Structure 1
């Protein structure tokens, strides 16, 4: 990536967060290596700690980064959907694309939920899941039951996709059209 130009600090921070998501998604909280994250992002380990303080703070920032990306993906999908497509359908289609294109995001979610009892992750896991839930409710205008069902379908979809068992789920968009 040697272009002769210095990278902006904000861009470097995004690279670090994406590298952290990838490693956290691959290894979980305790096995994630800050050395590998720094190397993947092309920065020194001391620089990484200068930006984020601790490994736990870096992982929390990566979880927040992943949640922001997911929420933005949902918002964009709803705002740009065709008139004959429900908000739920648009978000489901966007989520399917995200899962196919960004495996680190999927794995980051799974590790976050699995580590939710860890004091370093619990608060951010609860807060970011609530943010996603509220985002789906706002964007869809759905009832509490519809939002709960959509989130439940999304959780199931995340699990079967991570296990490469999509055949158990069937056609996710058909499920969404039928339910919502």
Structure 2
């Protein structure tokens, strides 16, 4: 069996960290758990990343980038309502198929709040920067309309909250949240 390069191990650590931090949060996740999931020792883990905050930052950055990539790919070549629908459906698929991404997002927000309260602004700066890049990714296909972008992002945060609370697909809380359902209802003859 071929040995993994440091870059491949680093990638494995980031994937494992997303999973572990999504489940236990920053404060409830040990670097030992991450190392164990990857199959490396803690000392080796710290050769790849200088400390636990650096691992969390890498995981948070990856999560935000992958979400941006999902929105950008879905909206490519589309504008307005078509872009909204495509991005909403792509995001719904993302959080359904990769629940760790949703949980990691929520853990980022909780961790930022705790870190900011303790006077540590590094994570908050990274997450705010990533969130603004996410905003910009959505803003352009929505025609640069601030109200439309705000509405889209607000619905996304509500979807995050409802999904995190475990409302199953098909539950009545979802009825007004899916643009495709809204469009299909409008298209029906009266």
Q: TM-score when scaled to structure 1?
A: 0.87
C-alpha contact 1:88 1:176 (8 A) present in aligned 2: no
Deviation at 1:153, TM superposition (A): 0.2
Deviation at 1:32, TM superposition (A): 0.9
Q: Deviations 1:87-132 (Å, cap 9, x if unpaired)?
A: 1111111101110111111001001112222125322221211111
Q: Deviations 1:18-40 (Å, cap 9, x if unpaired)?
A: 11111111111111111111111
What is aligned with 2:90?
94
Q: 1:86 to 1:59 in 2, by over 3 A?
A: same
What is aligned with 1:131?
133
Deviation at 1:6, TM superposition (A): 2.2
Q: Does 1:17 align with 2:22?
A: no
What is aligned with 1:36?
33
Q: 1:84 to 1:140 in 2, by over 3 A?
A: closer
Aligned-pair Cα RMSD in Å:
2.3
Q: Does 1:68 align with 2:65?
A: yes
Q: Matches of 2:124 and 2:19 in 1, distance apart? A: 20
Q: Matches of 1:17 and 1:76 in 2, distance apart? A: 22
What is aligned with 1:169?
174
Q: 1:173 to 1:8 in 2, by over 3 A?
A: farther
Runs of 4+ in 1 over 6 A off after TM superposition: none
Flag structure 1 segments of 5+ consecutive residues without an equivalent. Answer: none
Q: Matches of 1:91 and 1:115 in 2, distance apart? A: 27
Q: TM-score when scaled to structure 2?
A: 0.82
Q: Matches of 2:128 and 2:38 in 1, distance apart? A: 28
Flag structure 2 segments of 5+ consecutive residues without an equivalent. Answer: 185-190
Q: Deviations 1:25-67 (Å, cap 9, x if unpaired)?
A: 1111111111111111122211211111110111011000111
Deviates most, 48-57 or 154-163: 48-57
Instruction: Give the aligned length.
Output: 174
Which structure has the bigger radius of gyration?
2
Deviation at 1:84, TM superposition (A): 10
- Correspondence for 1:140 among 122, 139, 142: 142
